[in-house]
Amino acid sequence: MSDATRTRKGSLLRRTATHPLPWAIVLGAALLLGLPALHRALARPPLPVLGSVPSFSLVDQDGKPFGKAQMKGHPTVVDFFFTSCRSLCPLLSAKMERLQQRFRGTDVRLLSISVDPRNDTPAVLLGYGARYHRDPSRWTMITGDPGAVERTVVAGFKIELERAGKNAAVPADTVIHGGNLVLVDGAGRIRGYYQAGQDDLARLVQDARRLAAGGDA
Interatomic CA distance for residues 174 and 89, integer angstroms: 13
pLDDT the model gives residue 207? 97
Q: What is the pLDDT of residues 33-52, one digit of tens each?
A: 455 554 554 567 899 999 99
Considering only residues 134 and 17, tell me which one the structure prediction assigns the higher pLDDT.
134
pLDDT of residue 16: 42
Mean pLDDT for all residues in the chain = 84
Which one-letter DSSP state was computed for residue 217? -
Place 98 in a pLDDT band, splitting at 50, 70 and 90: very high
Question: Which residues are CB-contacts of 126 (< 8 A; sequence separation ≥ 6)?
Answer: 61, 62, 141
Q: How long a stretch of residues is the chain?
A: 217
Q: Is the pTM of this model over 0.85?
A: no
pLDDT of residue 12: 41
| 3-class DSSP assignment, residue 55 | coil
Question: DSSP label at 203?
Answer: H
**What share of the chain has pLDDT > 70, as a percent?**
75
Residue 173 pLDDT greater than 90, yes or no:
no
Q: How confident is the model at residue 13 (pLDDT cuts 50, 70, 90)?
A: very low
Which of 1-10, 53-62, 115-124 bottoms out in mean pLDDT, i.e. has the lowest? 1-10
Helix (H) or strand (E) holding 175: strand 175-177
Residue 126, pLDDT score: 98
The reported pLDDT for the residue numbered 9 is 46
| Rounded average pLDDT over 190-211 | 94
d(CA 30, CA 17): 18
Of the two residues 133 and 31, the one the predictor is more confident about is 133
Across 25-39, 44-58, 74-88, least confident range: 25-39
Q: How many CA atoms lie within 13 A of 192 on its CB side?
A: 22
Residues 27-54: b if buried by 16+ CB within 10 A, e if exposed: eeeeeeeeeeeeeeeeeeeebeeeeebe
| Domains present along the chain, CATH in parentheses | 3-43 (no CATH), 51-212 (3.40.30.10)
Give the model's confidence band at 169: pLDDT under 50 very low, under 70 low, under 90 confident, else very high.
low
Report which of 46, 125, 135 is spatially closest to residue 82, judged by C-alpha positions: 125
**pLDDT, mean of residues 51-76:** 97
d(CA 66, CA 122): 12
Angle at 89 between CA 83 and CA 112, to 5 degrees: 70
3-state helix, strand, coil in the chain (%, to 5): 45, 20, 35
pLDDT of amino acid 166: 59
